[in-house]
Structure 1
């Protein structure tokens, strides 16, 4: 008995999500996308192609985003079971984008009874456009673009330095289409893509060996992971325990300059001067001095905390999810405020409407966070300009660097304690892809893991595993010259999409 197309695309959607971390079964993702494209190509109407693609997307995003449910385990104002509805509800919306891609492939790509190169390339072009749209519409949700499945495959992943993640996603869908074409004995595109992929996977590691060992006096970076999760936030003495643990893990000065980094939001004291006294639980100068006491004269610390913004009447208007630079003399050397905030996480949209219904944001507190000005580099003496991307911000391809003031490295403090078992490795994989795209090393510091030092090729130089307290320290990895993607951003993805579409048209005309 033949399975119904609806069951096939649901199965394909489930399997397609297994290529992401932590499973990283990327061959299954290729096979699943080939099955989805088969169901699209055999659809009897545009309506059927749209329906099948939407079902595929619902299954794909439900499995890939299952970690979101765990964020509801730490919010006492809403029941944890609501998290399961949130995962499925988000998937119902996100599935619109594969639906659009499938509809475009069906309408513009089919040229005969069997799927061919033209259909595969059209599907790839459509996926680039719709995945980019997913990253920008309604503030964007760019989590797990398909191209991220290649992070464990050197060479193929490093195409992102040239074309970016969204274009790599389109080529991945085109490769799945080529696999489908091969099953129908149409060999030109499958043979070409297989040869190119094999050459990249074999040749890139041979041509890009790790660089020379830095000298002993080279600047060093130290990444701290205290391993205190969200379930302890309400405990008495939580702020002091997190602070003391991070102080202990921060090490001591050595002969080389050190940059010590702490995770997002783990400095639970206000450290800026000038707030009304009622807001302070500790003297801000004393807190800064305790951190500075761990620093040598050429060291600096980057710590994740909260800034407060007051209105003209002296009332708190909003807060900033911020990173502060603390210098050896105990003064602040700069501040970065997170710009790409999480709706329903760090602020409640339409608060006047939703709050009376019992809805709340997931981050504790009643004050909404306000967005900062966007990607920018904070100058840190001795270390140059350091780009900041707090938590979720790092997933947005082409939006993580101020291109007019290219930083020396990127710092990505995060709090992945919300994210269950699947979220942290997925978040880390996307940070590695940003390193590849921009040619910049990235430091990731999280309260419970996975913290990491990532080089400019996306390699993991050192990590602290999830659920462990610890610190890692290495010489500061060098940055590369700006990559092609770093220079032009997602304009390259548009060029690749156009190239795939025009090539598909040329193939179609030639076949006629």
Structure 2
């Protein structure tokens, strides 16, 4: 039991490498020690348990923000949030446990083989975590390579290699780096240098690749990003509706001498604007003649019943493109919904025991069709990802119709102090993978402009009202990852397994 407690503590320490702390050297050290602990286990189930305890520690600390979401609703007790964090961590820890078990099964006799199998297994299991049971891809290990927020910070070379091998491939490189430290500690210098050379080479190549990307065009479209600083406990308060709207009005500002793209957050207004012409008129009056507004709002889904009447049967979480006439030119519907947040699985069963979803209202949200490219007359094209859809590597762009940029309206006010910077880090990884600018507008932060290198060109800090006035960054040519997606990290994992099998074969011949 002592070694499981130690693994739990190591996992907790490894979570400090993610935003907002960004103590990535501790994460590398924790993974090196995890390798040392796992390879010394005598049984497969012990290796599995070691990885599981490590994962529980990492997810419980890294996902502590989930508990905050339960404080913004009255249907369930707030303490249930910590139960949710623990239960989710117990499940998510299965994936690192599988990685340690696979590495032990095939590499326990050779430290170098173990490290290679561990990196490969980590890539595959992290990918599986992103879609099994609808998926929860939050905080891939690669996010420690890009955890700092500051505007103008260049994404380091290791993160930049996501343009070739994606987020999950970069996670494998980080495991290799930890493995190199472990092998060095074992005085296996040749193996340590060989393994460590891979992430170092990838970092150098990443820096070279992004250094030639041009992101500033003085003739590009003018944009304004709005962060009204409306807290979650204020958002749906009817008594504060006028005040909340005025905050958006104030930040939107006067019309200017040139057309603007204006960005409001997810669920920026409570009205169902598709069915409410008065709300559209009030909002569109803020726009200049050639301005376009991208704003989050909900859409009701209706069902016709007898005598020409209809009833609501669901809703969609959407963002709209609105012009100065109040016309809705396009709409994107969120496709990857949050279980228990936007819909309640097995509703009759869970409602009977007093559980509810976190978002207000009795209607479940329905999913949209997936990534779409929308036309913005006079401004090009945009792709949409609402809130946490942005964390799913390889699933954010309509590949057959590549947009000029991505808009990520979000409501991170649910997520405490740790969730928003973690969300931003993962959005930056998407920008690197797709070589595409991302515009984020949130009620309380962190709103940001991310260029095609993954650099935060400008941002509004958490819990501050503000605006960003800028030029729309240019996209870069499609990356290898944007063309082929997550088949690339799987090929990388297969290569690592192939190298480890070859080394094992050579070792057996020598013996």
TM-score, length of structure 1 as denominator length: 0.94
- Preserved contact between residue 263 and residue 304 of structure 1 (Cα < 8 Å): yes
Q: Render the CA deviation track for 1:271-326: whole Å, top value 9, x for unaligned.
A: 113xxxxxxxxxx3232233323322332000001100011221101001010110
- Preserved contact between residue 235 and residue 244 of structure 2 (Cα < 8 Å): no
- Preserved contact between residue 216 and residue 474 of structure 2 (Cα < 8 Å): no
The aligned counterpart of 1:108 is 106
Query: Is residue 458 of structure 2 the alignment partner of residue 466 of structure 1?
Result: no
Candidates 205, 211, 214, aligned match of 2:214: 211
Alignment of 1:187-198 (within 5 A): 187-195=189-197, 197-198=199-200
Structure 2, unmatched stretches of 5+, are: 149-154
Quickly say closer, same or farther: Cα 1:491–1:195, change in 2 above 3 A: closer
Deviation at 1:193? 4.7
The aligned counterpart of 1:486 is 482
Q: Render the CA deviation track for 1:212-233: whole Å, top value 9, x for unaligned.
A: 7523x43112110010111113
The aligned counterpart of 1:164 is 166
- Preserved contact between residue 435 and residue 478 of structure 2 (Cα < 8 Å): yes
The aligned counterpart of 1:87 is 85
The aligned counterpart of 1:22 is 20
Alignment of 1:74-473 (within 5 A): 74-112=72-110, 115=111, 117-151=112-146, 152=148, 154-195=156-197, 197-198=199-200, 201=203, 205=207, 208=211, 211=214, 213-215=216-218, 217-273=219-275, 284-313=276-305, 314-473=310-469
Deviation at 1:468? 0.5
Q: Secondary structure at the match of 1:22?
A: coil
- Preserved contact between residue 462 and residue 472 of structure 1 (Cα < 8 Å): yes
The aligned counterpart of 1:281 is none
- Preserved contact between residue 411 and residue 442 of structure 1 (Cα < 8 Å): yes
Q: Render the CA deviation track for 1:448-478: whole Å, top value 9, x for unaligned.
A: 0110000011101111111101110110000
CA distance in 1, matches of 2:220, 2:183: 53
- Preserved contact between residue 179 and residue 195 of structure 2 (Cα < 8 Å): no
Q: Secondary structure at the match of 1:305?
A: strand
CA distance in 2, matches of 1:12, 1:448: 32
- Preserved contact between residue 409 and residue 442 of structure 1 (Cα < 8 Å): yes
Quickly say closer, same or farther: Cα 1:306–1:218, change in 2 above 3 A: same
Deviation at 1:191? 1.9
Q: Secondary structure at the match of 2:295?
A: strand
Over aligned residue pairs, what C-alpha RMSD do you find?
1.7
CA distance in 1, matches of 2:73, 2:259: 41
Structure 1, unmatched stretches of 5+, are: 274-283
Deviation at 1:189? 3.9
CA distance in 2, matches of 1:231, 1:45: 50
- Preserved contact between residue 242 and residue 266 of structure 1 (Cα < 8 Å): no
CA distance in 1, matches of 2:357, 2:335: 17
CA distance in 2, matches of 1:505, 1:39: 22
The aligned counterpart of 1:41 is 39
Deviation at 1:234? 4.9
Q: Secondary structure at the match of 2:300?
A: strand
CA distance in 1, matches of 2:80, 2:360: 17
Q: Render the CA deviation track for 1:364-418: whole Å, top value 9, x for unaligned.
A: 1111000001111111111222100000100000011111111110000000010
- Preserved contact between residue 161 and residue 205 of structure 2 (Cα < 8 Å): no
- Preserved contact between residue 19 and residue 25 of structure 1 (Cα < 8 Å): yes
CA distance in 2, matches of 1:480, 1:190: 36
Deviation at 1:185? 1.2
Quickly say closer, same or farther: Cα 1:476–1:443, change in 2 above 3 A: same
CA distance in 1, matches of 2:206, 2:493: 24
The aligned counterpart of 2:151 is none
Q: Secondary structure at the match of 1:100?
A: helix
CA distance in 2, matches of 1:60, 1:206: 33
Query: Is residue 498 of structure 2 the alignment partner of residue 502 of structure 1?
Result: yes
The aligned counterpart of 2:152 is none
- Preserved contact between residue 239 and residue 269 of structure 1 (Cα < 8 Å): no
Q: Render the CA deviation track for 1:168-220: whole Å, top value 9, x for unaligned.
A: 111211221221111111123432454554565567557616737523x4311
- Equivalent residues, number: 496
Quickly say closer, same or farther: Cα 1:189–1:398, change in 2 above 3 A: farther
Quickly say closer, same or farther: Cα 1:109–1:227, change in 2 above 3 A: same
CA distance in 2, matches of 1:17, 1:100: 19
CA distance in 2, matches of 1:120, 1:249: 52
CA distance in 2, matches of 1:167, 1:436: 13
CA distance in 2, matches of 1:438, 1:218: 20
Q: Secondary structure at the match of 1:463?
A: strand
Q: Secondary structure at the match of 1:80?
A: coil
